[in-house]
Amino acid sequence: MRRAPWLFIAPLLLVLGCTRPEVEAFRQRPTPVHVTVSLPSNLADREPFQKEYASALRARLATRVVVIPEGVKPPVGAVELQVDIRDISPAPNRPSAAAVGVATGVTVGAISAASGNRGWGIMDGLFWGLWAGSHAAMHRERVQDRLGYQPQVVRAEVRLLQPGNPEPLWVESIEPVEVVEAMDPLPRDHRDDDGRIREEEAKGFARVVVQKLSSYFQWTRFTDQRFYEDPASKKAETPMPPAAEPPPAPKPEPPAEPKKD
């Protein structure tokens, strides 16, 4: 029994020992982070969406590391948080619970029949189709009850890139269910406001990304937000000291009085 703890400690030591040197160096001394967001080119209102998601990420990430504000040139050694949102579609475009059940039932039934279980293939498909359909319906109802609205489907891949390093420091996939679970409900008078819903979707997405980054790099929360300030701009904003006033001109001496005889 005394050797049992090593069964858990040994894999942990192995994982820690396999951490790449550049990843460990960034974990110990993180450099400023530059955030970029890209969305599908065929998405309507693509630019506003990109700005909304990038702004939410910067605001959330600035509570963990130094973030480069929008429009500021990244300094030498800064890393890039590259967010590639591959799917962002309205909730009505998602398959209904019935469609999910039918698709699952047909797939399971076909696999079961192909494996030689022809007698039970139809029953397997029916069982798993009903289960998948009811599960999808329950999930949609739970989301609607908790949030008061149906959010969009957001799926993305996020990378942390370091200049000169061909391999990302960190890569993670973001799934729709993670974003939905991280979103907050809206007041009743805002549940039909597309702008407020989009803002909350961006905040939920940012919560998921920053939580995963913080867990991987072991970041702790700051007491305030920290943004990078360009030293050149700080010098330009520093007011020049007032010029010294010239010394007063010497007063002319009064003319000498004539001597009396």
pLDDT digits (tens), the chain, 261 positions: 455 554 444 444 444 457 899 999 999 999 999 999 999 888 888 898 999 999 999 999 999 999 999 999 999 999 999 999 998 887 544 444 445 444 444 554 455 555 555 555 555 545 545 544 444 444 455 555 667 788 888 999 999 999 999 999 999 999 999 999 998 888 877 777 888 888 999 999 999 999 999 999 999 999 999 999 988 766 655 566 666 666 676 666 666 666 665
**Residue 125, number of CB atoms within 10 A of its CB:** 22
d(CA 44, CA 50): 11
User: Are residues 83 and 38 in contact, defined by beta-carbon separation less than 8 angstroms?
Assistant: yes
DSSP 72: P
- Specify the residue for token string 């420091």: 169
pLDDT at 202: 94
Count the alpha carbons within 13 Å of 234 in the hemisphere toward its beta carbon: 4
In sequence order, the 6+-apart residues with CB closer than 8 A to the CB of 89 are 152, 153
